[in-house]
Amino acid sequence: MSAVTSDPSIHRPSVPVSLPHCPVCGVELQLGSSGPLDCWSCTAGHGLAMTLSESYERLQEDEIALLWQRARAGEPGPLSSPFDGRPMARVTVDVDADEVPEGQPGDGANSGTVVVDVDVANQFVWFDAGELDELPTDLADPEPTPEQLAAEAEIVARFGAEIEAAGEERESHELSERLYRRVARHPGALGALDNVGRALTAY
């Protein structure tokens, strides 16, 4: 008896059945990683796509909150989603060096703007070549205060219940759970969560 099995589950693809395509040239995007960052990129250099949850590895919380808030309110833009072909929202994000939510006390002066395309339904962000480099890098989070820990515990309790309620749709469930886990262990993201939370609870 051969040790090789024909069990199809062993050959399960590790990428989505429907592979994402470059919104500029249409080639299949390649999944790769750069340090802790996983993203899909165009082999012709047109840009890259990453999940909203993955973006916490690279972007600052205040910029993520702002781009998500604007994308949810945004009009369909010129580029199609790499994942389902529907128009992405094109948003202009104000950037600065700090992670204080835009307009809140302590928020520093904006240093410029970056334009990105967001697939709101699939929770992906598309960056044209060079756009990601224009966005400030995530900062190390300070130790959480007792108040932040209490607020975090409350959010964890609330999201736990909502994730269970969203359990019917497996894929959405896994995506929101992943984001939830990342935010939950990321105290600095609590401000951003107020904005992105609406996306999760839409499930």
Q: Which residues bind Zn ion (CB under 5 A)?
A: 22, 24-25, 42, 44, 46
Please say which residue, 79 or 114, places its beta carbon nearer to Zn ion.
79
Distance, in Å, from the CA atom of 122 to the CA atom of 139, rounded to the nearest integer, reads 26
Sign of CA dihedral 50, 53, 56, 59: positive
Q: What are phi and psi of 159, to 5 degrees?
A: -70, -35
C-beta of 44: minimal distance to Zn ion in Å? 4
Residue 82 CB, nearest approach to Zn ion (Å): 10
Least distance in angstroms from the C-beta of 34 to Zn ion: 18
Edge-to-edge strand ranges of the sheet holding 124-128 = 30-34, 37-41, 47-51, 124-128, 112-119, 87-95, 76-80
- Which CB, 118 or 189, lies closer to Zn ion? 118
DSSP, collapsed to helix, strand or coil, labels residue 173 as helix
What's the min distance (Å) between Cβ of 27 and Zn ion? 5
Task: Indicate the residue among 41 and 69 with the shorter CB distance to Zn ion.
Answer: 41
Nearest residue to the partner Zn ion, using Cβ: 22
Min. distance of Cβ 21 from Zn ion in angstroms?
Answer: 8
Q: Which is nearer to Zn ion, 46 or 70 (CB)?
A: 46
CB-nearer residue toward Zn ion: 19 or 24: 24
Radius of gyration of the chain (CA): 18
Sign of the CA dihedral running 194, 172, 36, 136? negative
In order of 15, 34, 83, 115, the CA distances from 18 in angstroms are 8, 23, 7, 27
Q: Which is nearer to Zn ion, 79 or 163 (CB)?
A: 79
For the chain, the residue count is 203
Nearest distance from C-beta of residue 25 to Zn ion, angstroms: 3
